[in-house]
Amino acid sequence: MDTGFFIKYYRYFFNGTMMTLAISFLGVIFGSLVGVILSLMKLSNNKLARAFSSAYIEIIRGTPLLVQIYLIYYGLPMILPMDLGRMTLGTIAVLLNSAAYIAEIIRAGIQSIDKGQSEASRSLGMSKSMTMRYVIIPQAVKNILPALGNEFITLVKESAVLSVIGIHDLMYNADTLRGITYRPFIPLIYAAIIYFIITFILSKLLRIFERRLEASDKS
């Protein structure tokens, strides 16, 4: 393998990797904020809130991320008077997409807690919101956190699609190198290796974290 190539152009890979990580990170963080709201709406007693969040989740998960990125990139500037810049628009597209997946992660996490837990808590005189706060959520978090880690790993890979709107992520920079060096293959191999190293390390770390959570359950 042409390591000289990598050494010569490592800046492209490095900067691209930073951009990929930054957007994925912002994607899960803000996606989680929106996701929490969507999941609460979905679990609420309000029909309208439930319908809205169900529709949102279905539509986002039922259409390609690529289409959503284009719609946000060209659509948002039409309705918003200010210039957001591609980095912000790209992040918004990713976070809005991720929020739908995260909403389902949170809903599933909450619903996975045995009904007996809330029945016991309610029969002890705790209110609905106290039950949620002190009984359900602390247990649900153990299911939710590892799944959010997985979502981050997914975004590291899926965010490669953002290169179509000119965000200088790892994929975009690899493509740029293909253009300026006339080497169509090598930059892609390096990009693939970097993506793999990131996701491999992250999933190992996540596994360790998950084991710790499991262990803390038993103590």
Q: State the residues that interact with ligand ARG by CB under 6 A.
A: 64-65, 97-98, 101, 151, 154-155, 158
Minimum CB distance to ligand ARG, residue 106 (Å): 13
- DSSP annotation of 134 reads I
Smallest distance from the beta carbon of 69 to ligand ARG, in angstroms? Answer: 9
- Return d(Cα 194, Cα 79) in angstroms, integer: 37
* Angstrom distances, CA of residue 72 to CA of 24, 58, 82: 17, 18, 14
Residue 158 vs 210, nearer CB to ligand ARG: 158
Nearer to ligand ARG, 97 or 121 (CB): 97
Look up tokens 């299911």; give the residue. Answer: 143
Min separation Cβ 32 and ligand ARG, Å: 11
Q: Packing angle between helix 86-111 and helix 47-61, nearest 10 degrees?
A: 120
Nearer to ligand ARG, 139 or 154 (CB): 154
Q: Which amino acid is at 68?
A: Q
- Minimum CB–partner distance for residue 71 and ligand ARG (Å): 13
CB 152 within 8 A of CB 24: yes
Question: Which residue's structure tokens are 């790892």?
Answer: 170
For ligand ARG, which residue has the nearest CB? 65
> Which is nearer to ligand ARG, 17 or 32 (by Cβ)?
32
